[in-house]
């Protein structure tokens, strides 16, 4: 007996189930000639005929019947097992573990909700933290990180998602007490609430034709955007926030935009993962959903 190819055994079982070479070829998405060659190879390996062929029908030989009876259940079991693998299902499934900064929450929650509704077989585990997360040690599939430059690493792959812009805000109470600047140079002398020790800001006007480098001074410094927003709402001064982080407060009148013609693109949102560009399907569909949701947007 020669070496038997399991693919040829699968073709044989499919031919018997379908009742003809042409129907088996349709099921397997193969050419009829490929099906015929598979049967010929299997017969050569077994050293005898397993199918009697006529122009209208096929019939099992005695050896063919014995082979079919012995391998049918094993082949069906193997097909079922392979079909149940998450990466091979028509509908992707499994768990996707994502880490991102705390300030991703306002825009990410809405996207996650829509994604979970679309892909009901996928579980999402989010770790929101401003601390650096070791993707390998923590078993993280995808990290969303803000950076001014392309993220690099010997084992990392990064994909640019969208730019991140900052606007200046203050509360109506602060505006009534101190007034609001009319130009970037008027920021000097105002109470500033600073984020992550960044004391300088490059502002550009909405037309992109002018820019201003502003050195900001302030007595309140923090490393959390939620605290910064709350401080601004309480009248602590002027500070910068991503628009998505301030829009609810602006809508309710708790904050107003300062220098509305000016903004600062200080960062970019990146998706980062360990390994090459090929992602597990459950992770790939999440990444593409995220990219499509943020396409053309500035956050």
CATH code, domain carrying 20: 1.10.10.10
pLDDT at 205: 86
Q: What is the mean pLDDT of residues 252-265?
A: 93
Q: Based on the fold, state whether residues 71 and 127 are members of the same structural domain.
A: no
Same structural domain, 125 and 48? no
In the listed set 64, 84, 104, which residue is the last one of a domain according to the structure? 84
pLDDT band at 83 (very low <50, low <70, confident <90, very high): low
Assess whether 71 and 218 both reside in one domain.
Answer: no
Q: Are residues 213 and 243 in the same domain?
A: yes
Share of the chain above pLDDT 70, in %: 92
Residue 291 reports pLDDT greater than 70: yes
- Nearest-angstrom CA–CA distance, 216 and 197: 10
Residue 265 has pLDDT above 80, yes or no: no
Residues 91-136: tens digit of each pLDDT: 888 999 999 987 787 789 999 999 999 999 999 999 988 788 888 8
**Together in a domain, 239 and 290:** yes
Residue 126's DSSP bridge partners are 98
Q: Can you tell me the distance from the alpha carbon of 24 to that of 237, in angstroms, rounded to the nearest whole number?
A: 74
Q: What is the pLDDT of residue 179?
A: 94
Is 71 domain-assigned?
Answer: yes
Answer yes or no: do 108 and 79 share one domain. no
Query: Which of the two residues, 151 and 52, has the higher pLDDT score?
Result: 52
d(CA 106, CA 49): 68
Domain with 289 in it: 88-299
The pLDDT of residue 55 is 64
pLDDT score of 245:
87
Kindly indicate the confidence band of residue 67, based on its pLDDT and cuts at 50, 70 and 90.
very high
Q: What is the pLDDT of residue 220?
A: 92
Same domain, 188 and 129: yes
Q: What pLDDT score does 103 carry?
A: 77
- One domain, residues 230 and 93: yes
**Do residues 96 and 73 share a domain?**
no
Residue 179: CATH number of its domain: 3.40.190.290
Last residue of a domain, one of 50, 84, 118: 84
Per-residue confidence band for 77, with pLDDT thresholds at 50, 70 and 90: confident
| Same-domain check for residues 79 and 95 | no
Lowest mean pLDDT among 89-93, 192-196, 279-283: 89-93
Is there a single domain that holds both residue 114 and residue 58? no
Query: pLDDT of 211-254, one tens digit each?
Result: 888 888 888 998 888 899 999 999 999 999 988 889 899 999 99
Prediction pTM value: 0.61
- Asked if residue 20 has pLDDT above 80, the reply is yes
Domain boundary among 55, 84, 113: 84
Residues 47 and 171 in one domain: no
Residue 1, domain member (yes or no): no
Top mean-pLDDT range of 70-74, 206-210, 256-260: 256-260
Number of independent structural domains in the chain:
2
Q: How far apart are CA 229 and CA 167, in angstroms?
A: 12
């Amino acid at each position: 007996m020669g070496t038997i190819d399991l693919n040829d055994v699968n073709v044989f079982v499919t031919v018997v189930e379908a009742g003809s070479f042409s129907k088996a070829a349709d099921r397997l998405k193969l050419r009829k000639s490929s099906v015929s060659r598979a049967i010929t190879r299997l017969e050569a390996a077994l050293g005898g005929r397993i199918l009697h062929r006529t122009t209208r029908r096929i019939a099992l030989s005695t050896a063919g019947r014995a082979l079919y009876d012995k391998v049918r259940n094993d082949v069906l079991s193997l097909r079922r097992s392979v079909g149940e693998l998450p990466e091979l299902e028509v509908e992707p499934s499994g768990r996707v573990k994502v880490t991102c900064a705390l300030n991703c929450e306002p825009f990410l929650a809405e996207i996650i909700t829509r994604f979970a509704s679309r892909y009901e077989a996928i579980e999402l585990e989010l770790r929101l933290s401003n601390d650096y997360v070791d993707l390998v040690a923590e078993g993280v599939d995808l990290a969303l990180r803000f950076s001014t430059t392309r993220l690099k690493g010997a084992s990392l792959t990064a994909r640019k998602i969208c730019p991140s812009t900052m606007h200046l805000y203050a509360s109506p109470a602060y505006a009534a007490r101190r007034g609001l600047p009319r130009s970037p140079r008027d920021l000097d002398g105002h109470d500033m609430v600073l984020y992550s020790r960044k004391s300088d800001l490059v502002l550009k006007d909405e037309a992109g034709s002018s820019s201003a480098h502003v050195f900001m001074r302030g007595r309140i410094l923090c490393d959390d955007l939620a605290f910064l927003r709350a401080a601004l709402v309480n009248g602590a001064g002027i500070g910068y926030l991503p628009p998505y982080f301030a829009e609810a407060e602006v809508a309710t009148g708790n904050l107003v935009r300062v220098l509305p013609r000016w903004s600062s693109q200080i960062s970019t949102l990146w998706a980062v993962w360990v390994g090459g560009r090929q992602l597990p399907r459950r992770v790939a569909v999440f990444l593409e959903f995220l990219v499509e949701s943020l396409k053309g947007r500035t956050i």
